[in-house]
Chain A
Amino acid sequence: MTVRERLRQNISAAFYRHGLLCASYPVPIVLFTSASILTCCYPLLKLPLPGTGPVVFTTGVRDYTIPYHEPQGEIGERPEWYRGPPVAYIQQVLVKAAVSPWDNTLVPVDVFRSPIGRVFSLLEEIRNHVYTDSSGVRSLESLCLQVTDLLPGLRRMQTILPEHGCLLVSPGNYWQNQRDLFDLDSDLLKTIHQHEPKGFHISTSLRDLLFGVMKEHTGVSLYSKKRVVTYTITIALSSYDPRFLGSLRARLKQLHPSLNCTLRDDHMVHVHFKEEIGIAELIPLVTTYIILFAYIYFSTRKIDMVKSKWGLALAAVVTVLSSLLMSVGLCTLFGLTPTLNGGEIFPYLVVVIGLENVLVLTKSVVSTPVDLEVKLRIAQGLSNESWSIMKNVATELGIILIGYFTLVPAIQEFCLFAVVGLVSDFFLQMFFFTTVLSIDIRRMERLWFLLADLNRRLPSPHTITLQAPAFRNLRLPKRLRVVYFLARTRLAQRIIMVGTVIWIGILVYTDPAGLRTYLAAQVSEQSPLGESGLPPHLGVAPVFPGGDPTSTLSVLPAPEPTIIPENHSNGHDSLGHITPVSPQISWGPEDEDGWKHLYLRQWPSLFSYYNITLAKRYISILPVIPVTLHLSPQEAIETRHPQDTRHQPPPIPRTPDQQNDLTLYKVAALGLAAGVLLVLLLFCLYRVLCPRNYGQNGVPHGRRRRGDLPCDEYGYSPPVSEISPLLLRGHSMDIECLASDGMLLASCCLAGQIRVWDAQTGDCLTIIPNNGLRRSSSSGGWEHRDGWDPMTMPEPDTLSGADTGACLEGAECDGYPLRRRLTPSRPALFVDQPDLTPLIDTNFSELPPSQKPPKNGFDFGELVDRAYQEHEPSPSLAFTPSPTAPQPRRPSVGDQPVMSPDPCSPGPTDWDSSVWAMELRGNLIAAGRSSGKLELWDAVEGSLRCCNEDGVSGITALAFHNNRIVAARLNGSLDFFTVETNKPLGAPGRGSMPPSPCYRSEDVINCQLTRSVQCAHQKPITVLRAAAGRVVTGSQDHTVRVYRLEDSCCLFTLQGHSGGITSIYIDQTMVLASGGQDGAICLWDVLTGSRVSHVYGHRGDVTSLVCTTSCVISSGLDDLICIWDRSTGIKLYSIQQEVGCGASLGVISESLLVTGGQGCVSFWDLNFGDLLQTVYLGQNSEGQGVRQLLVLENAAIVCDFGSELSLVYVPSVLEKLD
């Protein structure tokens, strides 16, 4: 034993034990895993939340030193990013200017023309400021941040933004910092506006950059009410020189004192910017996420054969995600902080870790034998796949470790996360997922038992109530499914509702002050007290609550009293002078954090114009220098441009109050219109998506009243077209056997009558026996059955057995009509005799489950035996009762002929034994009887051509292939016959053996037993199929045997089922599929005898199997039709059928499947599983199921329907329906 083998065994054993453990204690293990996940994720709380918003950190100015690159010991509350020098120091000079006193001679333009004009002198002052001390002369030029070219894409800004020099921006930049240009500018507002971006723009505009305050605060407007202009001069400094800045500050303060300024100047604000994700970067990111979701979708789609598909898929995703979180948490715990962009590498991590192991695990567990205990199933499934899982994990770890040695920091970090993630994923798979799987399987198991019990004990359709629509996984078109899903869960409504609630919550949470201000203002406006109590200009507040500092003050009452008196003390205005209001310059706390007035994003965009990125870096904003400018009206008039007077002062009634009101109305109207539009849109969407009328039941669906139309759970019923099936009437009893060779159709009913039909026209050609006997419907038999009490069973049985025995004697039963041409001397049997067959058969299938059928069977057999011995001791004693015992327990399944344990023992010429198997080739009907007799009939003439009585055990199955007939018998033996034609001398014969079996009537046909394989199987042979020179038999002894047809040599014995074989499929391409009572389907390679795949598809027996070139279709006792991929063995989908009708299957073309139902046949599209059409066979068809279904070569199907045959021509439109 090699090391590898030993290792493999050890791993397998360990996994087995682990599986037992997980399945035994599911709840504690799930709790334990959840606890460990939470523990490992705990360090994540320390990590900053993802987001790209800038982070602010404030330090004092006095003891400011440039932070070191290396983190110091006493970092304290210093953030991580606060290291090294900033990109720039931002010094802002905040200018507030007003023309005062204001008088009526001034025009609106005067509000801002002269104040802005003063910027040039201020700029001059700043530029020329020089500080001299012992270390030398310092000017702004030496300290400021030097910038180079603008980005190539920003040519249009070239005239405005500085290039090749200090980064110093102010409103003067609009006029290239030249006073002359400013003076010549006739329309300042137009100049300012022409650089504004068109349309809706949420990010910073050039105006915000140059003015340094937000648009609403500048006061540069014709309708400004306050008549105070605010702007900043922004200087970016590359190095910090406190003395120079101090002197500049002192100089400006000296020149333009701000008396009432309370701004603090001892704080420095550092703003850190995270990496910004632009839309351009988002596209690849979104792509990777789309690929990730597609991957998850395609992976979880493969989970099958479990109780809750979605639950397991969720568990799989949870496993992967929480393993990732655990990996990040663990890495954080051990001091490694993630530097990579989490969102970017996340999809790759998921893909690397993968869902494969989880899926492999599920598949392996699910495909263990269902009859095992759950614990053992889990353990077995785990240990089956242990080696491959370990190999996978080891390979991935190896690859990642190789990646770790690339010595590229980013890849190393990725690999580290991936390694930890893989390990934790393995841990979670083993503990979390396995346990969840065991819970799921256990639930499934319970259901399965329930179903199996129901299926076994209560075969009558109406007792099964468990076939809830939950089991219907009928496939619909995708579009419809999405719509139905939306409609069913009311997803859209819920999402909208939740979204609204969240939105309102965010509004209330983030902006309580604004809202409160707004409300307060509203209240004060409406109440006359408030109107009179507040100065008129305070009423401006409502629309821009944050915009008007005074209104903010109204809710922050502390600073307010200090302002107005001081203004008054300035003496520029008097209290009584209400109109026009004289501008008042106030410095409030809102100006202190001047930088807050701006979008913090303006800095990145300003720097990005010069190709300087602020991502992952920070800038330091120095305290602003306040400058107050009071201009006299004369100065304002002097600086006027000749055209300025064109702007008339605003009309008196158009007060800002009303303007604001108007805005309010506009907003309200717009909102209303938008709301109406939205409602209309939603209504249209609703009408489009849900076109059906829910409440109206005006026009009932044509066939819905039948109640059993296979419609899906949403009420979607497929179109029904009127295909009228051709009913072939004639049989008096239920049809038992059906055979066809394309041209002819032979059927045999329980009465033993064989009829031959023309498959094209449906004409009855021959009746065998054709002596015109018509059975009266044997009322006696039914009475017998009605009076049948299982407890008193022996009595009638004795009677009938005695009858039979008596009749079998032949000569004694004289009173009966003639039944057979060959033995006209025995007319007696007929009236009485055929009653026996249905009698016994139906009784066995309808035995109440409480009764023990085996016991009755044994009694029955003994009785038969006794009766038989009494009357005719013969070698047919070999027909032992034991094999019959299990037979009656199982109702007839599928196209397999019912083996009714007919007590009629074979007489020398028996019409009494029923036909158990029938085959039709050419014009020869081969009929195998329960007596073991093989008869060959001429299908056209209705004459017996040949008869072989070599066997004594009943023939359960027949195969007629070329000139060979294979008969399987009840005792498990297999007989090979050869049909030989001996031409009469006069006939012009070509050869002794015509290749196509068309036997002329004058030929003498001889049927010889060439070989008999005794004990081909230990138990009765249930299925026999022949194709491609092979004969395949399936038996109740759980094995399938393959024989060669030519020399009847047994090639293989295929073992793999854990139940009796119930169905076999073999075709010319040597594909062999077998299904058993264990619900398993095996695909075999006929050439090598190896098992290709083995799947569990059904709860209960597999009743029928058909293959197409690409898939395998199986139906089971659970009324499920499963479609499997033939090459991979993966279940593609399944169709839940009506109760008790999913037994018979037929494939018409590559994509058209036909199934028999309760009184109907249904056509399905194999590619999607869509129901194409349902054809009803009769008017009152309830309760009669189609048990046998044959597909003829001319695309017609024939099926049995009680005592009638039904010939359905598949319409050509059917293929075009989809």
Chain B
Amino acid sequence: MEDTSMATKLSAPRGPYIAVITNRTTNVVIRGTMLFSVGVFLALVLNLLQVQRNVTLFPPDVLSSVFSSAWWVPPCCGSASALIGLLYPCIDHCLGEPHKLKREWSSVMRCVAVFVGINHASAKVDFANNVQLSLTLAALSIGLWWTFDRSRSGFGLGVGIALLATLVTQLLVYNGVFQYTSPDFLYIRSWLPCIFFAGVITIGNIGRQLALYECKVVQEKIHQD
């Protein structure tokens, strides 16, 4: 029934004015923009977390440490998150098995908080060795998926994108675009895939929630304008 309601919602005829705003393209663009900004923001903040380990007590320039990474990193993360966030509801729709677990904003917020926490842990907690760190993070990521997603499609997509992103990062580092201070998994840190996976799950969650509330969000946008 949820599926049919979703389908009818997407294609339900509306008034002429509303229809212009809530047609699919506009909707997708708005959702994409929101996801993009979320991705950029998370990239900036989480990068700061990573950089912070080396930042000592006297931050010479705060702005430079916020934008400490290369300029292309936040836009890349943003576009990736927009893509993933749009892909998730789409795949749900295609497979016909909608995401049923706790479709609420509070749950999404919890998910985001746990994701930031995982990043925090990877950056701040002192682990005995890298294997332990990676295993812990992997367990945390799986836990995140189990708590907030629990769908096979989500897991599959998460693993796939994480592997892909890891590969891309490897290639980037191999070609010398940037480098990690202490690589332990070929050229990168071994916890990177876990972070990618958790990020994909989180962004997917946000994307699904946005798709659920698409109409409302669109209306709110108009309202604010």
Contact = CB atoms under 8 A, between A and B. Distances in A.
Interface stretch (A282-290, A508-516, A955-963): A282-290
Contacts of A411: 121, 125, 136
A284 B17 contact: no
B114 A280 contact: no
A1085 B52 contact: no
Interface in A299-317: 299, 301-302
A280 B110 contact: no
Contact of B126 (A153, A355, A408, A611): A408
A284 B12 contact: no
Contact of A284 (B49, B114, B219): B49
A1126 interface: yes
Contact of B104 (A298, A348, A351): A298
B215 A1110 contact: yes
Interface in A545-569: none
Contact of B106 (A276, A298, A402, A1109): A298
A287 B116 CA distance: 9
A413 B78 CA distance: 34
B160 interface: no
Interface string A384-409: 00000000000000010010001111
B110 A295 contact: yes
Given A351-B113, A615-B57, A1085 B132 contact: no
B113 A292 contact: yes
Given A291-B113, A1150-B14, A1167-B216, A1110 B5 contact: yes
A373 interface: no
B189 interface: no
Given A291-B109, A302-B104, A348-B120, A283 B48 contact: yes
Nearest to B212: A1127
Nearest to A406: B136
A613 B56 contact: yes
Contact of B58 (A301, A351, A604, A1215): A604
A940 B182 CA distance: 89
A1149 B112 CA distance: 36
Nearest to A610: B56
A605 to B, nearest CB: 5
A515 B112 CA distance: 49
A295 B104 CA distance: 10
A280 B12 contact: no
Interface string A607-638: 01101011100000000000000000000000
Interface string A1120-1145: 00000011100000000000000000
B150 interface: no
Contacts of A347: 113
B223 A1218 contact: yes
A611 B54 CA distance: 10
A280 B109 contact: no
B176 interface: no
A1152 B13 CA distance: 13
Given A295-B110, A298-B109, A1167 B104 contact: no
Interface residues on B, range: 35 or more
A288 B116 contact: yes
Contact of B15 (A292, A1092, A1149, A1168): A1149
Contacts of B126: 408-410
A614 B57 contact: yes
Contacts of A292: 113
A428 B5 CA distance: 40
Given A280-B65, A355-B106, A408 B127 contact: yes
Contact of B219 (A295, A479, A1126, A1168): A1168
A278 B1 contact: no
A529 interface: no
A354 B110 contact: yes
A1151 interface: yes
B130 to A, nearest CB: 12
A1109 B128 contact: no
A364 to B, nearest CB: 16
Given A287-B45, A302-B106, A1150-B12, A408 B120 contact: no
A409 B127 CA distance: 8
Nearest to A278: B59
Interface in B12-64: 12-18, 45-46, 48-49, 51-52, 55-62
B45 A351 contact: no
B128 A407 contact: yes
A295 B109 contact: yes
Interface string A404-438: 00111111000000000000000000000000000
Considering residues B56, B120, B127, which has the most beta carbons from chain A within 10 angstroms of its beta carbon?
A: B56
B139 interface: yes
A402 B55 contact: no
B100 to A, nearest CB: 10
A287 B38 CA distance: 12
Interface in B86-118: 103-106, 108-110, 112-114, 116-117
A863 B87 CA distance: 73
Given A302-B104, A348-B117, A280 B59 contact: yes
Given A280-B52, A1151-B14, A605 B57 contact: yes
B58 A609 contact: yes
A295 B62 contact: no
B58 A605 contact: yes
A1216 interface: yes
B126 to A, nearest CB: 7
Given A288-B116, A351-B114, A1127-B5, A1168 B223 contact: yes
B2 interface: yes
B110 A284 contact: no
Contact of A1167 (B5, B60, B215): B215
Contacts of B117: 288, 348, 351
B113 A1069 contact: no
Contacts of A615: 57
Interface of B: 1-2, 4-5, 8-9, 12-18, 45-46, 48-49, 51-52, 55-62, 65-66, 103-106, 108-110, 112-114, 116-117, 120-121, 124-128, 132, 136, 139, 143, 215-216, 219, 222-224
16 contacts: A276-B57, A284-B120, A294-B109, A295-B113, A348-B120, A406-B136, A407-B132, A410-B121, A608-B57, A1126-B5, A1127-B5, A1128-B103, A1149-B14, A1150-B14, A1151-B219, A1215-B16
Interface of A: 151, 153-154, 276, 278-281, 283-284, 287-288, 291-292, 294-295, 298-299, 301-302, 344, 347-348, 351, 354-355, 399, 402, 406-411, 477-479, 604-605, 608-609, 611, 613-615, 1069, 1085, 1092, 1109-1110, 1126-1128, 1149-1152, 1167-1168, 1215-1216, 1218
Given A291-B116, A344-B120, A1085-B1, 8 more contacts: A287-B116, A295-B106, A298-B109, A348-B113, A351-B113, A604-B58, A605-B57, A1152-B15
